[in-house]
Amino acid sequence: MASAPDPRVTGSQDSASPEAADASVAPETVLVVDFGAQYAQLIARRVREARIYSEVVPSTMPVEEMLARKPKAVILSGGPSSVYAADAPSLDASLFEAGVPVLGLCYGFQLMAQSLGGTVDNTGGREYGRTDLSVTKGSSTLFEGTPGQQQVWMSHGDACSAAPEGFTVTASTDLVPVAAFEDDERRLYGVQYHPEVMHSTHGQQVLEHFLYRGAGLSPTWTTASIVDEQVAAIRRQVGGKRAICGLSGGVDSAVAAALVHKAVGTQLTCVYVDHGLMRKGETEQVEKDFVAATGVQLKVVDAADRFISALAGASDPEQKRKIIGREFIRVFEQAQAELVAEAGAAGEDVAFLVQGTLYPDVVESGGGTGAANIKSHHNVGGLPEDLEFQLVEPLRKLFKDEVRMVGQELGLPDEIVQRQPFPGPGLGIRIIGEVTRERLDLLREADAIAREELTAAGLDRDIWQCPVVLLADIRSVGVQGDGRTYGHPVVLRPVSSEDAMTADWSRLPYDVLARISTRITNEVSGVNRVALDITSKPPGTIEWE
């Protein structure tokens, strides 16, 4: 873990205002150049854990453009290609002559070696998974203070057999003579393995040595600094105009709204559409706890009957998503029109829409540069493209755990900040089959019991989320009391993850699972069986629909 204390967050800026973005760029930025690595975002996260701002950029970005962003250091990611292949991603070697500290990892290490005159070839020494690394120079910039023998995570078929001129070889393995090299004079460093993954036992320490010792950076990126910077950026962008924010009840929209409210106060109005598909107590939580914590102006639209009526007869998951998305757009548009009319009567201009876009959304959609159209919400179907608002996206450079830390800094209650991720269509996609009021009530109770028991066991922060799924179109025989029952099964889906891109099923204690099962089958009429989903992602997804 990072030697600098938490919180470990970075800055962000909204995409709709280049001026605001330029004004809030971190003074010390590390660029992670992505060569198609599955771990590129993880590298950025590890840099942020060291309290230094980082961004992922594609390897296709010209070096001149990278340098124009004035990075304090650059990290070259791994990738699936061979550096000597004709179609392999490349990098202009001028980066290594620019005076910017560079760390190459795996493919990035090999690319640096080849570009500077070293030798990279297929030696037949393939290494995958846990590998023993021998540090040959313990006093080096990267390895000082780490053991001479340490476990690392390898994933390569090619290898560097000769380091470029000017580099000192600082580590090797049984199969790879050059597993790390360093050139302190030019501040160029590289390792063959993946220090960003937890299986590399001293990987974070090696990364921090590069950042602090090799690049001379300081761990100054904190939640307090990002709140201050974002408040200033939002004020510059919004000015004296009005903004609206669609609250979903989730962490992202709540923290985004709290940041904007801190910046512009009563210029922000939040809209909460109660579609009747929320979990037990969550609408009340938004109406009471969030307003009490922030003082924000909140417009609540009770549209439960409308959504449930629209969903009648629909059982296909994609059809349900489209219906929920369509109805959400219509209800939100109506609420937005009312707010615009009220503001217009008062001589005010509602010009901004606040969204809780996160950094993984930006990276996965291919960018984050320049002004963006309103992002389609992968859960609720998206807001209409012709809404004439500028976006305010104060979280677009943050990961989920960083958003939670900012929420804590803003004083939001744990019930909101530590809330498990919840899909925009709500319980509508956790009912396998048609959505009815009776089925929603049944699932709400089962879900509430699971959450209560997980909280009582102190497991809330050990799992990413625990969807409870109702198999509404399936009935199974059971025995309750003195008679046979013919009830529905529910499925528990506890998963552990860092960012939901991959996930594994959580190994919950048996006694906790037993209490959940006993309570649900005893207290929820119509449920007589509780199952456990033990599928990872991939191949499964976190949600069933």
Secondary structure (DSSP) of 29-40: EEEEEESS-TTH
Nearest-angstrom CA–CA distance, 151 and 130? 6
In the chain, the amino acid numbered 368 is G
Would you say 375 and 356 are in contact if contact means Cβ atoms under 8 Å apart? Answer: no
- 3-state SS assignment for residue 183: strand
DSSP string across 274-312: E-S-SPTTHHHIIIIIIHHHH--EEEEEE-HHHHHHHTT
- d(Cα 448, Cα 369) in Å, to the nearest integer? 41
The DSSP letter of residue 264 is H
Where do the DSSP E strands lie in 46-164? 53-58, 73-76, 102-105, 119-121, 127-135, 149-156, 159-162
- Alpha helix (H) residue ranges in 386-496: 400-409, 414-417, 437-456
Collect all residues with Cβ–Cβ distance below 8 Å to 292 and sequence separation of at least 6.
none
Residues 6+ apart with CB under 8 A from 87: 81
Structure tokens at 510: 């048996």
d(CA 198, CA 200): 5
Q: How far is Cα of residue 334 from the mean position of the Cα atoms in its chain?
A: 31
Distance CA 378, CA 438 (A): 27
Widest distance between CA atoms in the chain: 83
**Residue 350 token pair:** 């509602």
Cα–Cα distance, 431 to 24 (Å, whole number): 43
* Residues that are catalytic: 106, 194, 196
Q: How far apart are CA 521 and CA 450, in angstroms?
A: 12
Contacts of 391 (CB under 8 A, 6+ apart): 14, 15, 16, 352, 353, 354, 355, 357, 371, 372, 374
- Could you tell me where the DSSP H helices lie in 75-144? 107-115
Beta bridge partners of 32: 56, 75
Residues facing residue 486 across a β-bridge: 477
- Cis before residue 421, ω within 30 degrees of 0? no
Tokens representing 71 are 């990075």
* CA torsion through residues 523, 527, 531, 536, sign: negative
In the chain, the amino acid numbered 103 is L
